[in-house]
A and B are shown apart, each in its own frame.
Chain A
Amino acid sequence: MTRTDEELVALSRTGDVDSFNQLIVRWERPIYALAYRVLGREEDARDVCQDTFLRAYRALPGFKGQAKFSSWLYRIALNLCRDWIRRQQRAPVSQMPEDIDPAELLAETEPTESIEDLVARRELSAIVAEAMKSLSDEQRTAIILKEYHGMTFQEIADMQGCPLSTVKTRLYQGLSQLRRQLERRGHGIPELVKRT
């Protein structure tokens, strides 16, 4: 029987480390993905992901369940990302290879996807990552939370500590900026996008 997050949190609070490890297995990928998209570096994202769970484990006695466990985790991860960027004094840079490595391509190939499609997808992914760099931290974070983590406006507002209308503005302005960037680069593969 699969336990809910709340049940696993309750067990973890009693010192059941196995339950907390189940929560890690459940949430490590979303947290890593969030950290990667915000920080842009694989190693940094991995470190932040690990640190997030360590901090969550230590802070578990203080977690009273006012928010969803996942929201609480996201908040910790975002704070760590913010600290990380501040500490490293570096702008987020997406780790996109200059050249496409055939070995990596082979590993990523889906059975139904041709090599041509895969190359195009990788190119577009790199362009999107580059375009995301042109956004402000707030806009980028709002778009990441909305697009890739399916949060509501209210959840993003809570996470970013701003009014609901500010979240909508950030999303609108961020998407418009991205659209301009993508159009400027002249890239877009509608056939592929439609398929995905």
Chain B
Amino acid sequence: MSVTFECGDKNALVAYLYEECEPELRDVISGHLTRCDSCSSEIDGLGWTRQRLEVWAPPMPELGFQMPVPAQEVRLPWWRAPLPAWAQAAAALVIFGVGLSVGLARGPVAAPQQASSPRPTVTVPAAPVDTVSSTDLADLEQRLKSEISQMRTTAPVRQVASSTASSDEEIMKKVEALLTQSEERQRREFTLRSVEMARDFEAQRRVDMASVRETVGQFQGVTGTEIRQQREAIDRLNSYIIRVGQQGR
């Protein structure tokens, strides 16, 4: 298939100008330009315009735009990573719940077979009394007797209640001990992390200071060169002004 070019075909001339046409078409246009003054002057004119476009240069400021690099996170293994507050609260609740259910699952302690078995005793610290009269002692005896008689009648129930209460107390003590341990561990980890962060911060500060010192050094070097270049250019400008002034006279 032969390639044809129609005289004055602007699209083809532009493609020729920018060297983006098929080699066959390029040869055809080249041949045509040797014969056609109109197309030839058109191509020369467009080329002349392109040459002038070369001088249009934008001012190039220092751009230096950079995306901020996210700070390096200290990645702790999962077992060392601190739990969030809600997780800690949930863990405490779970521990408490488990302890409570274990306590309840044990069921009530069986009542003693004989009524004469040893009763749980409660020791009440005696309040300091300055003087004790015989009447006071008689009253105390009466009160103790009535209390003992009451205890005899309600002994099994109170014993069971006392047993459950002691079981709950034990669980509570365990939970408290676990919570105390957890708090202690958290406190220790927090201290360790604080120390690590302080160390990292100090290391980063040193690196930054070194970088600043280096940059200042480079800047001073560049400034010296620029001053020398500017002095030379001022000399050239002066000589140019003098020359132009002399020509003007």
Residues on B with C-beta less than 8 A from A33 are 58, 60
Per-residue contact bits, chain B 102-119, to A (CB 8 Å; 1 contact, 0 not): 000000000000000000
Stretch among B65-73, B87-95, B210-218 lining the A interface: B65-73
Known: A50-B65, A115-B237. A196 touches B55 (CB 8 A): yes
Q: How large is the interface on B (under 10, 10 to 19, 20 to 34, 35 or more residues)?
A: 35 or more
Q: Pick the residue among A17, A124, A132 that contacts B67 (CB under 8 A).
A: A17
CA distance A110 to B195 in the complex (A): 55
B233 touches A128 (CB 8 A): no
CB nearest to A131 among chain B residues: B52
Residues on B with C-beta less than 8 A from A196 are 54-55
Known: A20-B67, A168-B15, A193-B54. A182 touches B59 (CB 8 A): no
Interface size on A, residues (CB 8 A): 54
CA distance A49 to B65 in the complex (A): 9
Residues on A with C-beta less than 8 A from B45 are 176, 179
Within 8 Å of chain B (Cβ to Cβ): is A57? yes
Q: Pick the residue among B48, B59, B66, B233 that contacts A106 (CB under 8 A).
A: B233
B46 touches A179 (CB 8 A): yes
CB nearest to B234 among chain A residues: A106
CA distance A37 to B240 in the complex (A): 32
Q: Pick the residue among B11, B57, B69 that contacts A168 (CB under 8 A).
A: B11
List 12 other contacts, CB 8 Å, given A50-B65, A57-B67: A17-B67, A21-B66, A37-B56, A114-B236, A121-B55, A124-B55, A143-B53, A152-B20, A171-B14, A192-B55, A193-B52, A194-B51
Interface residues of B (CB under 8 A from A): 10-11, 13-15, 18, 20, 45-46, 48-61, 63, 65-70, 230, 233-234, 236-237, 240
